[in-house]
Structures are given as structure tokens and as C-alpha cells.
Amino acid sequence: MKSPALFSTLLLALFLSLFAACSDDSSSSPTSEATPASKSRGKTLVAYFSRTGNTKPLAEYAAEYLGATLFEITAKIPYTDEDIAYYTDCRADREQKDESARPEIATAVENMDEYDTVIIAHPIWHGIAPRIISTFLESYDFSGKTLLTFCTSASSPLGQSAKQLQELTPNSTWLESKRFAIGTSREEIEKWLDDVL
Ligand SMILES: Cc1cc2nc3c(=O)[nH]c(=O)nc-3n(C[C@H](O)[C@H](O)[C@H](O)COP(=O)(O)O)c2cc1C
């Protein structure tokens, strides 16, 4: 060896090439193939209440488009046709008048903790969400989750329905809710989801 300096240089080169080979570990690079949208909204649940079947297909379109879990909110005491014959002082009329009404839900969502985003679909009953949606929102801890609602109605606009629900879960991030007409197409729901999420 001509000089210790040359020896040190060779040793350093060897060390650097060994270090580069070790750090070129492809398993440490990101492998997720998630789309940008699913990255931002994470694991998603679509929970819906639909007594007469208008909201249900829209919730299904949303869940299918997002690859989300679909959950039907059903009442422990099912709503009969008489119960929803509105403007007859029926059960639904009385519940909607009573801010504290919390109709019980028949089944629970498993592992709610795992969901990052929860989309809740419901009809409008007397200008707002059915009280069973309040029961749903008070049944879990939604802190830190992203929440979004959409509804169907015969003609009423969204009105105060979303605001009233948002007040029940102040520690969540709420995205802008929307009202859809009965029979809204799959394409319209998908376009809205692209815009809102
Ligand atoms: C008790 C009750 C109250 C309702 N109140 C309203 C209302 O205030 N405005 C409106 O446009 N439609 C109202 N509707 C109609 C529903 O919002 C509409 O039919 C909705 O699409 C039903 O959804 P679903 O079939 O998923 O249950 C009411 C229906 C019921 C049963």
C-alpha cells in the first residue's frame, strides 16, 4: 500500500457501497395501492335508515362506489305503516316533535373504532332526520372521525337536518351534507362523492 490515505479511501468506498446495498431494501418503500381518495378518507362505513326504501339504493350506490361497508339502521320496534302515516299524530309524528326521543336500534356496528369516515343516509321526516339517526350518533364515539350525511325527501330541502345532527358530535369533522330527490341515479351519487370527499 503506497499510503495510508489511499487505504482509508478504499475502506471508505467499500463501507459506502455496503451501506447503499443495505438501504436499497424495496420492502421499506410504500406498497399501498390505495387511490388518493381512499387514502384521505380511510376505512369507510355507509350507515342508512330507509323505512320505505327510497334512501336504500342511494346508500348502496355510495357503498359500492367507495368499497365501503354497508350497515342498515333498523328500529328495535319496527315502524309499521301506521307508525309513519304522517300528520295523523302517528309514532313518527310524535317522535319528530320530541327533541329527546331516541328510538332504540336493533343491531350495532361491529368495530366502529376501525372506521375513519362514516356516511349516514336517511329520509327527511318533518324537515329533519328521523330521531333514530340521533340514537345512532349517540351510540358511538365519533371523535376524530369524518362524518357526512345525505338524505332523501319528497320535496323538502336539507334545511336544518344536518346542523341538528352535527350538534350531537362536536368532536368530529363534518363534510357538507346533501339532499337528493327520490330516484337519484347512481352516476349522480358517484359524482357527488367525488366532489365532497
Ligand atoms: C313521518 C314522515 C315524515 C316526512 N316528512 C317529510 C318532510 O317534512 N318533507 C318531505 O319532503 N318529505 C317528507 N317525508 C317523505 C320522505 O322524506 C321521503 O319519502 C323519503 O324519500 C323516504 O325515505 P325512505 O323511503 O328511505 O324511508 C316524510 C315521510 C314520513 C314517513
Residue with the smallest CA separation from ligand 1 atom 22 is 123
Query: Angle between the 186-196 and 55-66 helix axes, to the nearest 10 degrees?
Result: 60
What is the atom index within ligand 1 of the atom nearest the CA of 48?
Answer: 26
Render pLDDT for 134-169 as a digit per residue (tens, 0 to 9).
999 999 999 999 999 999 999 999 999 999 999 999
Tell me how far the alpha carbon of residue 130 lies from the centroid of ligand 1, in angstroms: 9
Are the CB atoms for 180 and 188 separated by under 8 Å?
yes
Please tell me the predicted confidence (pLDDT) of residue 75. 98
Give pTM, 2 decimals.
Answer: 0.83
Contact 136, 109 (CB under 8 A): no
**190: three-class secondary structure by DSSP:** helix
* Beta carbons of 149 and 162 less than 8 angstroms apart: yes
Q: How many Å lie between the centroid of ligand 1 and the Cα of residue 33?
A: 41
88, 153, 164, best to mutate for ligand 1 pocket (most atoms within 8 Å of CB):
153
Pocket-forming residues, ligand 1, beta carbon under 6 Å:
50-56, 84, 86, 92, 123-127, 152-156, 182
Q: Decide: helix, strand or coil at residue 66.
A: helix
Ligand 1 atom with the shortest distance to the CA of 52: 25
**Amino acid 27: pLDDT:** 34
In a domain, 113, yes or no: yes
DSSP-assigned states of every residue in 2-24? --HHHHHHHHHHHHHHHHHHHH-
60 in any annotated domain: yes
Cα-only R_g, the chain: 26
**pLDDT score of 37 more than 80:** no
And the C-alpha cell for 145? 372521525
- Decide if 104 is inside a domain: yes
Quick check: is 165 in a domain? yes
Between 47 and 3, the higher pLDDT residue:
47
User: What total number of domains does the chain contain?
Assistant: 1
> Given pLDDT bands bounded at 50, 70 and 90, which one contains residue 13?
low
The answer as to whether 20 is a domain residue is no
Which residues span the domain enclosing 86? 43-196
Give the atom of ligand 1 at the shortest distance from the alpha carbon of 49. 26
CATH of the domain at 112: 3.40.50.360
User: What residue owns the CA closest to ligand 1's atom 3?
Assistant: 125
Q: Is 98 contained in some domain?
A: yes
| Percent of the chain residues topping a pLDDT of 70 | 80
Express as a percent the part of the chain with pLDDT over 90.
79
Q: Quick count: other Cβ atoms within 10 Å of Cβ 125?
A: 23
CA of 28 to the centre of ligand 1 (A): 52
**Is the Cα dihedral 82, 84, 182, 104 positive or negative?**
negative
For residues 109, 149, 179 and 93, what is the CA-based torsion angle, rounded to 10 degrees?
60
Minimal CA–CA distance to 37: which of 150, 142, 175? Answer: 175
In a domain, 136, yes or no: yes
Residue 52 lies in a domain: yes
* Residue 157 vs residues 92, 128, 152, 180, 194: alpha-carbon distances, Å: 19, 10, 9, 9, 22
